[in-house]
């Protein structure tokens, strides 16, 4: 069957569902690679760009703004690509996402390479970089929901949860791999732009594997991809990948009313998500510059990238520990996850504000990331459990928007505050965490009451 943008998958039938078979290991490895590369490339850039900005004498605020622009595009385009997963073909969207990723990294790498050589001014280097970076935010967002929909549509119900969890874990694993390998990819000839060319080459290999190893769309039943936020050292929560309800609404039944942001059932959770998400984004935006300044590494770009990568990796590992270890092990409900997350987040941010050596920065960032790693699944699960099954698509879209919006302005704001007021971003984050802890105790439903309402 031809793989074309106009492909319209067959309607779900009982026979087709019965014939759905688990995806073999080779194809699952390809899908895993798409998610892994998409996430790891982004976090690798987080560890590199502060040092690049220093070399080009670009103000820290504008370096951070490049991430904000990409996040804005991701928030705008990701829901559109997710809605296209049934109609354009999942493999086609994966290919589109990887083309966007590869092109973005190759062109952005070239812009930085020639800019660092002095071929044009720092201003033009930044403009070109931001322009090419937009390809990642605009097109790269097509790949994650397409991968998730491909797995859901080709996996029997009994195997689907395990398969989707594996795919979800690859996105979180990428946030660790990126900053860890970025310093190892630097070679003398290409300098600080080396990791971008390396990830572009890896993206090409993944596209070749997609073309050769992944069959064209012929799903057993339809499945829409989940909107995934742009990766920023944070693994997706277990609730970000929900099973399709095979026993749900039949075709032709009326759709539920559109879920509104002001819905009283979800509003407390959304307020929590917005405030906590922005506090997290402020810390993520400023941490690379903190490492360079407090360790005196502005004039040592190679060491600066290595130290920044170590700090980011510790935060990503702590996030995964929270979401893969503590939450399932302790069976923490939404409210409990949020409250404990805010306590740990406040402690970690306080330590970051006071630390001036590598050990203190690593511990502070890890503790803060552990707290926000508990907080994000709690807010996501609380919003999901507050509404009916038929409203899950609506609440998932709102939650994804909340997660994405946090990274539009807050990282740049954090850098601006850090530039002119030192540790102020950390005190701001501490204040938000403390407020949400006491506010959440009074406002958020007890976990037992959420279960009872369901």
Three-class DSSP category at 187? strand
pLDDT digits (tens, 9 = 90+) for 263-274: 788 888 889 989
What pLDDT shows up at residue 85? 64
Q: Which two structure tokens, joined as six digits, stand for 341?
A: 């997350």
Q: Which two structure tokens, joined as six digits, stand for 231?
A: 């990766």
Q: How confident is the model at residue 165 (pLDDT cuts 50, 70, 90)?
A: low
pLDDT digits (tens, 9 = 90+) for 41-66: 877 887 788 888 888 888 888 888 87
What pLDDT shows up at residue 247? 43
Name the residue with higher pLDDT: 170 or 424: 424
Q: Which two structure tokens, joined as six digits, stand for 220?
A: 């057993």
**Of 443, 451, 437, which Cα lies nearest the Cα of 375?**
437
SS3 of the chain: helix, strand, coil, percent, to 5 = 75, 0, 25
pLDDT digits (tens, 9 = 90+) for 361-411: 999 999 999 999 899 888 878 887 887 766 665 676 677 677 777 778 888
Q: How confident is the model at residue 13 (pLDDT cuts 50, 70, 90)?
A: very low
Kindly list the distances between the CA atom of residue 15 and the CA atoms of 26, 90, 248, in Å, as whole numbers in the listed order: 26, 21, 17
Q: Is 187 left (phi over 0), alpha (psi -120 to 50) or beta?
A: beta
Q: How confident is the model at residue 237 (pLDDT cuts 50, 70, 90)?
A: very low
Kindly list the distances between the CA atom of residue 344 and the CA atoms of 55, 59, 369, 377, 437, in Å, as whole numbers in the listed order: 35, 31, 8, 15, 10
Q: How confident is the model at residue 220 (pLDDT cuts 50, 70, 90)?
A: very low
pLDDT digits (tens, 9 = 90+) for 80-100: 777 776 677 788 889 999 999
The Cα–Cα gap between 109 and 102 comes to: 11
Average pLDDT over residues 256-266: 73
Question: Where would I find the H helices in 182-266?
Answer: 194-213
Q: Which two structure tokens, joined as six digits, stand for 323?
A: 């979401």
Q: Of 266-270, 275-279, 303-307, 373-377, which one has max mean pLDDT?
A: 275-279
Backbone angles phi, psi at 187, to 5 degrees: -120, 150
The Cα–Cα gap between 442 and 301 comes to: 48
pTM score: 0.75
Average pLDDT over residues 139-166: 73
């Amino acid at each position: 069957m031809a793989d074309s943008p106009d492909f319209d998958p067959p309607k779900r039938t009982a026979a087709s569902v019965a014939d759905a078979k688990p995806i073999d290991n080779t194809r699952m490895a390809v899908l895993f690679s798409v998610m892994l590369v998409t996430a790891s490339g982004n976090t690798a850039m987080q560890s590199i760009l502060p040092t690049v900005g220093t070399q080009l004498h670009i103000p820290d605020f504008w370096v951070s703004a490049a991430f904000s622009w990409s996040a804005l595009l991701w928030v705008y385009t990701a829901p559109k690509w997710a809605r296209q997963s049934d109609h354009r073909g999942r493999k086609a969207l994966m290919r589109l996402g990887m083309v966007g990723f590869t092109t973005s990294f190759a062109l952005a790498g070239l812009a930085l390479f020639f800019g660092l050589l002095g071929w044009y001014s720092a201003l033009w280097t930044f403009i070109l970089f931001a322009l090419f970076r937009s390809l990642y935010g605009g097109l790269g967002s097509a790949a994650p929901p397409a991968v998730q929909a491909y797995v859901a549509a080709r996996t029997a119900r009994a195997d689907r949860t395990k398969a989707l969890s594996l795919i979800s874990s690859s996105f979180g694993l990428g946030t660790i791999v990126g900053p860890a390998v970025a310093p190892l990819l630097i070679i003398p000839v290409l300098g600080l732009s080396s990791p971008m060319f390396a990830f572009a080459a890896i993206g090409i290999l993944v596209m070749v594997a997609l073309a050769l190893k992944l069959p064209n769309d012929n799903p057993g039943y339809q499945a829409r991809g989940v909107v995934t936020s742009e990766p920023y050292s944070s693994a997706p929560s277990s609730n970000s990948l929900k099973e399709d309800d095979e026993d749900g609404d039949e075709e032709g039944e009326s759709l539920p009313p559109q879920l509104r942001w002001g819905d009283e059932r979800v509003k407390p959770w959304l307020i929590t998500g917005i405030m906590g998400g922005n506090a997290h984004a402020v810390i993520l935006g400023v941490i690379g510059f903190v490492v360079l300044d407090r360790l005196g590494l502005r004039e040592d770009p190679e060491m600066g990238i290595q130290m920044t990568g170590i700090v980011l990796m510790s935060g990503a590992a702590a996030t995964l520990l929270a979401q893969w270890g503590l939450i399932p092990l302790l069976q923490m409900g939404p409210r409990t996850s949020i409250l404990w997350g805010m306590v740990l987040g406040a402690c970690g941010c306080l330590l970051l504000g006071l630390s001036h050596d590598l050990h203190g920065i690593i511990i502070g960032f890890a503790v803060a990331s552990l707290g926000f790693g508990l907080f994000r699944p709690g807010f996501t699960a609380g919003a999901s459990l507050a509404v009916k099954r038929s409203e899950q698509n609506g609440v998932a879209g709102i939650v994804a928007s909340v997660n994405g919006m946090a990274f539009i302005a807050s990282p740049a704001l954090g850098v601006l505050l850090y530039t002119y007021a030192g540790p102020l971003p950390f005190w701001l984050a501490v204040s938000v965490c403390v407020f949400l802890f006491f506010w959440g105790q009074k406002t958020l439903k007890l976990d037992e009451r959420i279960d009872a309402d369901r």
